[in-house]
Amino acid sequence: MKRAVIFDLDGVITDTARYHYLAWKRLAESQGVHFDEAFNEHLKGIDRMGSLDLILASSPRRYTQEEKLALATAKNEHYKVLIATMTPGDLLPGAVQALDDCRAAGLKIGLASVSRNAFTVLDRLGITDKFDYVVDAGMIAKGKPDPEIFLVAAQALGVPPADCFGVEDAVAGVASIKAAGMYAVGVGDPATLRQADVVIPSLAQFRLSDYVAA
């Protein structure tokens, strides 16, 4: 029986993807790089510097590390302005019920987000107290699909990885869960999240009993 659940944030509990998209689009276009929804799909589950490298790979310019850090900082500052407008109304359907169901069942609840603004987003959504432990990008050396972020969360929760399951909407995130030795619940398209053990359209279809006994 599973004793802990570790959720991703973006695309699972709330949709900050549109804010990331707007911030990355402005940065990309400032560097003469075309950026659209299709390009943005490749950034899902990738951390900030990894996403920046993918964008700048389409530029004829070559950037120093200092220039990259400045661009990443500029993107993040714009993103923080955008997410400052978030409210509990930005929670995705089923998110609060899923968290409450896990708590009622006695599961430890973790968050594994490659966003460095995870705590800010949780605060804006009013759900910080629903998590026993939060791991963000500032606490790990390797981003998804490396398993580190889920392993760090499991260790902090005091539960072996095999007794945890993870919930993710991105291919890189699902790969991270599986590499950590956990059961993976995908949120989104089954054709895309083929590595997940089960895929649901959203947390509105979250069925805890199915995953705890898996």
Burial code (b: 16+ CB inside 10 Å, e: under 16) for 10-42 equals bbbbbebbebbbebbbebbeebebebeeebbee
CATH 3.30.460.80 holds for 4-15+88-212: no
76 is in an annotated binding site: no
Active-site residue, 197 included: no
59 is in an annotated binding site: no
pLDDT at 88: 97
pLDDT in tens, 132-163: 999 998 899 998 999 999 999 999 999 999 99
pLDDT in tens, 161-193: 999 999 999 999 999 999 999 999 999 999 999
Distance, CA of 113 to chain centre: 4
10 is in an annotated binding site: yes
pLDDT at 56: 96
pLDDT at 115: 85
Mean pLDDT of the chain: 95
Burial class (CB in 10 A: 0-12, 13-18, 19+), 104: exposed
Active-site residue, 189 included: no
Instruction: Write down the CATH number for the domain with range 17-83.
Output: 1.10.150.240
Report the C-alpha gap between 63 and 61 in whole angstroms. Answer: 6
Q: Is residue 20's pLDDT more than 90?
A: no
pTM over 0.75: yes
123 is in an annotated binding site: no
pLDDT in tens, 50-73: 999 999 999 999 999 999 999 999
Whose structure tokens read 């560097």? 31
75 is in an annotated binding site: yes
pLDDT in tens, 71-105: 999 999 999 999 999 999 999 999 999 999 999 99
Q: Is residue 43's pLDDT more than 90?
A: no
pLDDT at 74: 96
Q: Is residue 195's pLDDT more than 90?
A: yes
Segments making up each domain of the chain, as ranges: 4-15+88-212, 17-83
Mean local confidence (pLDDT), 106-125? 94
pLDDT at 16: 85
pLDDT at 137: 87
- Per-residue pLDDT band for 119 (boundaries 50, 70, 90) equals very high
| Active-site hit among 10, 146, 189, 210 | 10
